[in-house]
């Protein structure tokens, strides 16, 4: 058995514990409208591949919902294990593609590539926007917030690309947004079917508001998900990217995906 | 687990039955309090759901849908909670390994369960240390957003460092070497338990098949 496999097996439980600790303790301390419970999943996916990332996500949700004793236990997290698996798979994909590689002071081809990726993601967002927010009548709050998030994304991406020339951060930004979109798309049916659109937190009122405005259950949960998931995943991916960029190369190189994370060449990071 | 799967598939009265059975079993095992706390943890969901569905106009599904969803959730959550409340972790893990789950999977499960309290304690330490250095966790959302990095970064770095230590410890103990391992601890397993297990498995298969047929007919 290759050496790196043991490392993955050790990484997974540590990442699961990280997810739960961040998602409960730190999230309660900061009281921001984000979940923060996917950092370990993304970390494992990027370092050890899609399967390990997906397994980390699934186990995190299952352990959190059914195995841990109260008051830590969160039964509402169980059915969302599917979303967590998708996040882990995507993170593995980004790691394999080398998206999380540090690319400071990039050369023009890299910048162009990053710009292309950002534009592609913007198109995907526009498409999702047109499909998710189909209703006659006036613009509602969630549409405005979604547009605001997308605008911030474009502004930050432009700043990173042209002012800081940091192509890597733009790619991670785009990857985070795509991950958030996918997570929202998968979570909406789960929230609608298993929970009837209600998970016991304050956002239920938002969902109820959408439903009184005439939206179906799935659309209401989707719109609520599109509010918090993209933001949460973008922040998560950026955090993982920042920490990995600061790690010594020999530490990262030992992981299965390590050679895609570490810039090849003789330049010290 | 059969109960949880059947509750999710059928909902309604099956879920109620499963929930009651679970409660009875918990009473017998002396774990009713833990089950009650788990049920209470679902109370915010229940209250929120009932309130919202009661206030909504009729087109949105109404109270019946809400109650149905709640029952499904209850029927799915309680049996699984009871399972882990009554099984000691070492017993469960030894049994999994004896049945061929593989010591690697068993290791991941066991290590994750042990790592969670540790990670929480470390998170509390980091939060308090950063607060002592002037980190603002009560101010405006902008300051709290800035506070994210100093809180999360040490935890991620600490996790990666922990992975290094433990990997070295495991490799020194030939964790990666091939071949079966002999188990030291055998959990008790009576004939009655074996019969009950087979019966439950059959019930699960029948129940899910019946549900599939019912859906197909409709």
**Least confident span in A39-43, B40-44, B173-177:** B40-44
Most confidently modeled of A15-24, B7-16, B167-176?
Answer: A15-24
Q: What is the pLDDT of residue A137?
A: 44
**Which of A228-232, B7-11, B109-113 reaches the highest mean pLDDT?**
B109-113
What is the C-alpha to C-alpha distance for residues A123 and A2, in angstroms, rounded to an integer? 42
Q: pLDDT at residue A2 above 60? A: no
- Closest CB to B145: pick one of A24, A32, A201: A32
Q: What is the pLDDT of residues A213-243, one digit of tens each?
A: 666 667 777 777 777 788 889 889 989 998 9
Q: What is the mean pLDDT of residues B85-110?
A: 74
SS3 (DSSP) at A216: coil
pLDDT of residue B190: 73
pLDDT bin (cut points 50, 70, 90) of residue A74 is confident
Residue B76 and residue B138 in one domain? no
pLDDT at site B28: 67
**pTM score above 0.90:** no
Task: Give the HSE-up count for residue A117: Cα atoms under 13 Å, Cβ half-sphere.
Answer: 23
Q: Which pLDDT does position A157 carry in this prediction?
A: 78
**Given this model, what pLDDT does residue A200 score?**
58
At B174, list the tokens: 């030939």
Range scoring the smallest mean pLDDT among A75-79, A83-87, A103-107, A183-187: A103-107
Give the span between the Cα atoms of A88 and A82, in whole angstroms.
10
Q: Verify that B82 and B28 share a domain, yes or no.
A: yes
Indicate the average pLDDT of chain B: 76
DSSP B78-109: HHHHHHHHHS-HHHHHHHHHHTT--HHHHHHH
Question: What is the average pLDDT score of chain A?
Answer: 79
Q: Judge if B160 and B199 occupy the same domain.
A: no
Q: Name the 3-class secondary structure at A15.
A: helix
Q: What is the pLDDT of residue A267?
A: 37
pLDDT of residue A39: 95
A29-43, A64-78, A106-120, B100-114 — which one is most confidently predicted on average?
A: A29-43
- Indicate whether B109 and B78 sit together in one domain: no
pLDDT > 50? residue A265: no
pLDDT confidence band for A268 (50 / 70 / 90): very low
Q: Do residue B216 and residue B148 come from a single domain?
A: no
Whole-number percent of chain A with pLDDT over 70:
77
Residue among B39, B150, B152 with most chain A CBs within 10 A, to mutate: B152
Name chain B contacts of A148, Cβ cutoff 8 Å: none
Residues B102, B157: one domain? yes
pLDDT (0 to 100) of residue B79: 72
Q: What's the pLDDT band for A269 if we cut at 50, 70, 90?
A: very low
- pLDDT of A13 reads 95
Same domain membership, residue B99 and residue B155? yes
Number of domains in chain B: 3
DSSP letters for A87-148: HHHHHHHHHHHTTTS--TT--HHHHHHHHHHHHHHHHHHHHHHHHHT--SSS--HHHHHHHH
Report the percent of chain A where pLDDT is more than 90. 23
pLDDT > 80? residue B182: no
Look at residue A34 in the predicted model and tell me its pLDDT.
81
How many angstroms away from the CA of B88 is the closest CA of chain A?
Answer: 11
Exposure string of B65-77, with b = 16+ CB inside 10 Å and e = fewer, is bbbebbbbbbbbb
User: Is the model more confident about A230 or about A148?
Assistant: A230
- State the pLDDT at residue B105: 82
Q: Is the pLDDT of residue A138 over 80?
A: no
In Å, how far are A41, A61, B28 from A83, measured between CA atoms? 11, 9, 36
The number of beta carbons lying within 10 Å of the beta carbon of residue A259 is: 11
Q: Which chain B positions have a beta carbon within 8 Å of A55's beta carbon? A: 108
pLDDT in tens, B64-85: 766 776 777 777 677 776 776 6
CA distance B15 to B211: 13
Q: Which residue has the tokens 């047929």?
A: B213
Chain A contacts of B84, Cβ < 8 Å? 66-67
**Per-residue confidence at A250, pLDDT binned at 50, 70, 90?**
confident
Average pLDDT over residues A238-265: 83
CB contact under 8 A, B84 and A66: yes
Q: Is the pLDDT of residue B162 over 90?
A: yes
What's the gap in Å between the CA of A26 and the closest CA on chain B? 7
Of A157, A87, A193, the residue nearest B8 (C-alpha) = A193
Q: Do B1 and B81 lie in a common domain? A: yes
Q: Which residue of B has its CA nearest to A43?
A: B156
| Per-residue confidence (pLDDT) for residue B154, from 0 to 100 | 93
Whether residues B141 and B210 fall in one domain: no
Same domain, B108 and B139: yes
Name the residue with higher pLDDT: B130 or B41: B130
> Least CA distance to A20: which residue of chain B?
B116
Residue B209 in domain? yes
Q: Say yes or no: B112 and B151 in one domain.
A: yes
Note whether B164 contacts A247, CB cutoff 8 Å.
Answer: no
Q: Give the model's confidence band at A132: pLDDT under 50 very low, under 70 low, under 90 confident, else very high.
A: low
Domain extents in chain A? 3-261
CB pairs under 8 A between A and B: 206
Looking at residue B62, its pLDDT comes to: 61
List the end-to-end C-alpha distance of chain A, in Å, as a whole number: 31
**Could you give phi then psi for residue A255, rounded to 5 degrees?**
-80, 155
Asked whether residue B99 falls in the same domain as residue B161, the answer is yes
Domain limits for position B199: 189-218
pLDDT score of A38: 93
| Residue of B23 and A263 predicted with greater confidence | B23
Show residues of chain A in contact with B118, CB under 8 Å: 17
Task: Tell me whether residues B48 and A200 touch, CB distance under 8 A.
Answer: yes
């Amino acid at each position: 058995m290759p050496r790196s496999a043991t490392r993955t097996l050790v990484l997974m439980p540590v990442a699961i514990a990280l997810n739960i600790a961040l998602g409960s303790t730190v999230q309660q301390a900061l009281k921001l409208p984000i979940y923060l419970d996917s950092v370990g999943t993304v970390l494992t996916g990027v370092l050890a591949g899609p399967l390990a990332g997906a397994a980390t996500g699934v186990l995190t949700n299952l352990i959190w919902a059914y195995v841990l004793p109260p008051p830590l236990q969160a039964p509402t997290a169980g059915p969302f294990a599917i979303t967590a698996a998708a996040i882990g798979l995507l993170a593995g994909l980004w790691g394999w593609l080398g998206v999380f590689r540090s690319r400071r002071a990039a050369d023009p081809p890299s910048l162009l590539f990053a710009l292309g990726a950002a534009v592609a993601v913007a198109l995907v967002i526009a498409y999702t926007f047109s499909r998710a927010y189909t209703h006659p009548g006036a613009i509602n709050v969630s549409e405005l917030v979604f547009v605001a998030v997308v605008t911030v994304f474009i502004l930050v991406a432009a700043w990173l690309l042209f002012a800081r020339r940091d192509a890597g951060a733009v790619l991670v930004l785009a990857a985070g947004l795509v991950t958030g979109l996918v997570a929202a798309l998968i979570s909406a049916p789960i929230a609608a079917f298993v929970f009837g659109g209600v998970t016991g937190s304050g956002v239920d009122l938002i969902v109820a508001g959408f439903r009184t405005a005439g939206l179906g259950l799935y659309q209401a949960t989707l719109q609520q998900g599109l509010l918090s998931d993209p933001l949460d995943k973008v922040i998560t991916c950026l955090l993982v990217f920042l920490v990995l960029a600061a790690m010594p190369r020999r530490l990262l190189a030992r992981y299965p995906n390590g050679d895609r994370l570490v810039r090849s060449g003789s330049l010290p990071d | 687990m059969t109960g949880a799967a059947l509750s999710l598939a059928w909902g309604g009265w099956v879920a109620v039955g499963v929930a009651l059975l679970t409660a009875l079993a918990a009473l017998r095992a002396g774990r009713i309090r833990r089950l009650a706390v788990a049920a209470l943890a679902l109370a915010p969901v229940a209250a929120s759901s009932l309130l919202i569905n009661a206030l909504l106009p009729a087109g949105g599904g109404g109270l019946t849908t809400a109650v149905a969803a709640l029952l499904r959730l209850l029927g799915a959550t309680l049996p699984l909670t009871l399972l882990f409340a009554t099984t000691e972790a070492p017993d469960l893990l030894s049994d999994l390994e004896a049945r061929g789950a593989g010591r690697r999977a068993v290791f991941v499960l066991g290590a994750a369960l042990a790592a969670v309290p540790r990670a929480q304690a470390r998170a509390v330490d980091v939060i308090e240390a950063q607060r002592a250095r002037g980190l603002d966790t009560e101010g405006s959302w902008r300051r709290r957003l800035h506070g994210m990095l100093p809180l999360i970064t040490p935890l991620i770095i600490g996790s990666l460092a922990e992975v290094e230590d433990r990997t070295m410890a495991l490799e020194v103990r030939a964790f990666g070497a091939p071949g079966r391992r002999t188990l030291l601890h055998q959990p008790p397993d009576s004939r009655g338990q074996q019969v009950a297990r087979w019966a439950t498995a059959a019930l699960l298969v029948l129940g899910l098949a019946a549900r599939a047929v019912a859906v197909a007919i409709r």
